[in-house]
Amino acid sequence: MLKQAEADTNITPTNAELWARREQAVPRGVGSMHQRFSAHAENAEIWDVEGKRYIDFATGIAVTNTGHGDPRIVAAVKAQIDAFSHTCFQVTPYESYITLAERLNALAPGDTPKKTIFLTTGAEAVENAVKIARAATGRYGIIAFKGGFHGRTMMGMALTGKVAPYKAGFGPFPQGIYHVPYPVPYHGVTEEMALEGIADLFKADIAPTDVAAIILEPVQGEGGFYAASPAFMKALRELCDQHGILLICDEIQSGFARTGRLFATEHSGVEPDLMTIAKAMAGGFPISGVIGKADVMDAAAPGGLGGTYGGSPLGCTAGLTVLDIIEEDDLCTRAHTIGTLFAQRLEAMKAAGASEIGDIRALGAMIAIEIVKDGNADEPDPARTTEIVKKAAEAGLILLSCGIRGNVIRFLPALTASDEILHEGLDILEAVLKG
């Protein structure tokens, strides 16, 4: 019996068997887009537990920009584990935290001296940015944008501009949060309309002297990969300066070379007061942070910021290596090349008869297509979107959908992926669209 039990433990379960176990053990609120369980991953490819290979155009939601398992990151983290895995920076600090902060302070947009705190998740970074903004200004109000996503904590949900599935059933939320339109020309929302939305808030709901910060994603992530123009970013900066409001740029999904600059905010030439970072900053190891102007960051009293796992030494070590890789491999330039490659292929698919492709968007390698009926922007097709994602996975391509209307397919390939792999993945997509 013992030998049989030992033999049974060596049998690799199937995707279906693991999904059945997942259904029994994990609450349904934790969604999984694909019923395929990863067993191994390398650069831009994943193999599931049944040995099937997939091209990965999701990168763990913009996390492995440097690819899966880069040997330079693996070696650095292994060396850190040999030294120590945790001491808590607030108890006995360590040099890698300081070094990573120094490098990010120097790389952040603008010439104002910066300081950085490290945390664990993107939502935690957003929470702390709001805390810092309120401490620095003595004000309470926060203006966010419709369609924006800022996390699943209570403050993160309050800031997020989409009800289902993120906010439904979880209220009430923290007070003092206000939403205005985000400029999306494809949907008929102009920059003037968005700025008028803020002006209307000041007239009807909150005085500008009570607003601590305006927070936005320079490129909306979950909202559908809509990029704020340099002109709009500059208008926000001027508005904030006029009223003593802080500008928070949420770079959690758009940061670390994804858009062709280290941070998407750099495309506008605007210097934010605070910037939240996470996802790709450590190549898959959990870490997040807030980078901000030094005087703003120092507003919170000692003990007001922190967290047991914040700035994990493993994450800091991986983060330093990621910065090295971005520079050594010139991944910002590579992101532009990838964006051009995708845009050309997607335009060709559309021209060849893929009428469901409405808009094609690419800022560097942050790429998306909007799936609509007969090319009509006013008729989103979430059912077709779901079908495309499902059929692509069956054919060996991992995709993600997003968008406030559920009709956007986003492409987040590893910046280290070869042209050959990218074309192979796009060939699969083209076959699915034709089918």
State the average pLDDT for the chain. Answer: 96
Q: What is the DSSP string of 303-346?
A: TSS--TTTT-HHHHHHHHHHHHHHHHTTHHHHHHHHHHHHHHHH
**Helix ranges, 108-147 (H):** 122-137
| Contact criterion met (CB below 8 Å) for 31 and 386 | no
Q: Cis link prior to 230 (omega < 30° from 0)?
A: no
90 DSSP 8-state letter: T
Look at residue 350 in the predicted model and tell me its pLDDT. Answer: 96
67 DSSP 8-state letter: -
Compute, in degrees rounded to 10, the torsion defined by CA atoms 145, 148, 152, 158. 10
Q: What are phi and psi of 292, to 5 degrees?
A: -155, 170
Amino acid at site 12: T
Q: With bands split at pLDDT 50, 70 and 90, how would you rate the model's confidence at 435?
A: confident
Give which of 250, 332, 251, 317 is closest to 285, Cα–Cα: 317
Q: What is the pLDDT of residues 355-398, one digit of tens each?
A: 999 999 999 999 999 999 988 999 999 999 999 999 999 999 99
Q: With bands split at pLDDT 50, 70 and 90, how would you rate the model's confidence at 8?
A: low
Look at residue 6 in the predicted model and tell me its pLDDT. Answer: 46
Is 319 a residue whose pLDDT tops 50?
yes
Name, in order, each residue with C-beta under 8 angstroms of 303's C-beta and a sequence gap of 6 or more. Answer: none
Residue 140, burial from CB neighbour count under 10 angstroms (0-12, 13-18, 19+): middle
Look at residue 371 in the predicted model and tell me its pLDDT. Answer: 98
Cβ count near 265 (within 10 Å) = 29
Using a cut of 0.75, tell me whether the model's pTM lies above it.
Answer: yes
Q: What is the pLDDT of residues 136-167, one digit of tens each?
A: 999 999 999 999 999 999 999 999 999 989 99
Element (H, E) at 371: strand 366-373
| Contact criterion met (CB below 8 Å) for 251 and 218 | yes
> Residue 221 has which token pair?
């992530």
Give which of 126, 297, 137 is closest to 213, Cα–Cα: 137
Query: Sheet holding 211-216: strands in order across?
Result: 114-119, 288-293, 274-277, 246-250, 211-216, 141-145, 177-180
> Residue 214 has which token pair?
């305006």
The pLDDT of 77-99, averaged and rounded, is 98
Q: With bands split at pLDDT 50, 70 and 90, how would you rate the model's confidence at 90?
A: very high
Instruction: Give the sign of the dihedral formed by CA 124, CA 127, CA 129, CA 132.
Output: negative
Element (H, E) at 288: strand 288-293
Q: What is the pLDDT of residues 9-62, one digit of tens each?
A: 578 899 999 999 999 999 999 999 999 999 999 999 999 999 999 999 999 999
More confident residue, 337 or 8: 337
Look at residue 55 in the predicted model and tell me its pLDDT. Answer: 98
The pLDDT of 291-312, averaged and rounded, is 97
* Domains of the chain: residue spans and CATH: 2-62+330-434 (3.90.1150.10), 72-328 (3.40.640.10)
Look at residue 283 in the predicted model and tell me its pLDDT. Answer: 97
Q: What are phi and psi of 274, to 5 degrees?
A: -140, 150
Residues 7-39, buried b or exposed e (16+ Cβ, 10 A)? eeeeeeeeeeebeeeeeeeeeeeeeeebebbee
| Contact criterion met (CB below 8 Å) for 318 and 283 | yes
> Residue 409 has which token pair?
């397919």
Q: What are phi and psi of 76, to 5 degrees?
A: -65, -40
Q: With bands split at pLDDT 50, 70 and 90, how would you rate the model's confidence at 7?
A: very low
